[in-house]
Amino acid sequence: MQAAVITFPGSNCDRDAAVVLEAVTGRPPAMIWHRDTNLPKLDLIVVPGGFTYGDYLRVGAMAAHSPIMREVVELAKKGVAVFGICNGFQILCETGLLPGTLMRNADRNFVCRDVHLRVETSDSIYTRKYNAGSVTRVPVAHGEGNYFADQDTLDRLDGEGQVAFRYVDTYGAETKAANPNGSQRNIAGIFDKSRRILGMMPHPERLADEKVGGTDGRAMFESLLEALS
C-alpha cells in the first residue's frame, strides 16, 4: 500500500500519521507539501490534523484552496481513499468531499482528552478489523469539532450507513456527557457514499502504539493495509 500525507503550514500531526503508516505498512509514506500540484500513484491520502494557516478564517477553509487539494479532490473522485483526521476532517468538508461543517465546540472550550467511540459499521476499508457496535478509546484535541448538518443530510447519513463513529460512554450508550463538542447525533466521523473517504475528529494515529498508552487506533491503519494492498 502506497500512502501519502499532506503537510500544510500549521499541520502538527503529519509526522504522527507518517510514523503509524510506516509501522503498519513497512514503508514510509510520501510527504507532500501543500503547494505541490502533483501526486504519485497512491492507494491512500491522509489529510492530517493541525491548525492549517492558524485556522483564522474558518477551520480548514484556507487549506481547502491549497494547490494540492485540487489534486486530492480529483483523485478522490477517481476512487483513491482519502482519510481526514481532525483538521483534515474540517478540510474535507470545506472541499465538499464530505457533507456538513465543523463549528466551535458547544462549550466554547478546547478539548484534549480520550473519548470513547462506537464503531457503527465494520463494512468499510477503515473499520473492517473492528466489530460493528464495539467501543474503542481514541484521543481528541480540538476547539472546533462540533459537527453540524441539516436534518435531511443527517437522516441520509444515518439511513445510508455513512456514520462511521459516534461518541459514547464506556458502555456504548450515546449520552450528552460522552459528547465532547456538541456534535449532532453524537457524530464523531462520517464516510462519503462510497465509504472510501472518511473524516473523523478523534486521532487514531495518537493511540496506535503501546508506548503511548494503547493501540485502539492501530486497527484502523491495519484495516487500510488489508483492504488496499
Residues with catalytic annotation?
86, 203, 205
Query: Residue 165: beta bridge partners?
Result: 119, 189
Rg (C-alpha) for the chain, rounded Å, is: 16
Q: Which three cell numbers stand for residue 222?
A: 491495519
Task: Assess contact for 6 and 68: CB atoms under 8 A.
Answer: yes
Strands (E), the chain: 3-7, 30-33, 44-47, 81-85, 101-103, 111-119, 135-142, 146-148, 163-168, 187-191, 197-200
**What CA dihedral angle connects 35, 41, 42 and 43, to 10 degrees?**
160
Q: Which three cell numbers stand for residue 124?
A: 468499510
Which residue from 51, 33, 40, 34 is spatially nearest to 3, judged by alpha carbons? 40
